[in-house]
Structure 1
């Protein structure tokens, strides 16, 4: 029998702003990765795999210290 617990999250205003910024960063990163896959397939018929995109994250984080690098 599995039990589940629900915890109510009550962040402060500062924490809520930080969580919202983190969510926005991840949303933009996901959408950019999806667009990269679509464009690569549409233009060259090349499939971009998760591992390839994951390896590029180090460079993305290094180039964007205020965003993904924080």
Structure 2
């Protein structure tokens, strides 16, 4: 029996958005960055106040509440918002892995406009990375 390994391809497409589309993409990227920073703050506060460690699943549950209370987050695809939360979860996993290995840990940081690389989607092939302020030459 031969087992064929799955192949993952990365497809790069160049975008040429209109001014209106670029502004909408900037707003979406800003919402993803705000979500990342709020989730980081939530994890820090939960640990400081109650000694609780929040998981990705916990924060996905609170994402539903956030989307109901803050209507601007309804503009985001729910799965792409989960990818943003997963990015934070991976940052914490890498932090704790480095602590355990005795390396310089590097606690996850809040992201400013120029330090947030973009947003993604769960399914392979239906997402892209948007970098605010780009002219379109380096979009992937």
User: Which range, TM-score by smaller chain?
Assistant: 0.7 to 0.9
Partners in 2 of 1:51 and 1:3 — Cα distance? Answer: 28
- Relative to its length, the structure with more helix (as a share) is 1
Q: Which runs of 4+ in 1 moved over 4 A?
A: 1-5
Partners in 1 of 2:63 and 2:32 — Cα distance? Answer: 12
Q: TM-score, normalised by structure 1?
A: 0.85
Uncovered stretches (5+) of structure 2, i.e. residues with no partner: 1-6, 76-140
Match of 2:28 in 1: 22
Match of 2:52 in 1: 46
Q: Deviations over 1:7-66 (max 9, x none)?
A: 21111101000000000001001100011101111222110111011011111111111x
Q: Which structure has the higher relative contact order (CA within 8 Å, separation 6+)?
A: 2
Shifted more, 39-48 versus 16-25: the winner is 39-48
Pick aligned residue for 1:68 from 58, 69, 73: 73
Partners in 1 of 2:31 and 2:54 — Cα distance? Answer: 21
Q: TM-score, normalised by structure 2?
A: 0.45
Partners in 2 of 1:63 and 1:38 — Cα distance? Answer: 22
Give the 3 Å change call, closer, same or farther, for CA 12–35 of structure 1 in structure 2. Answer: same
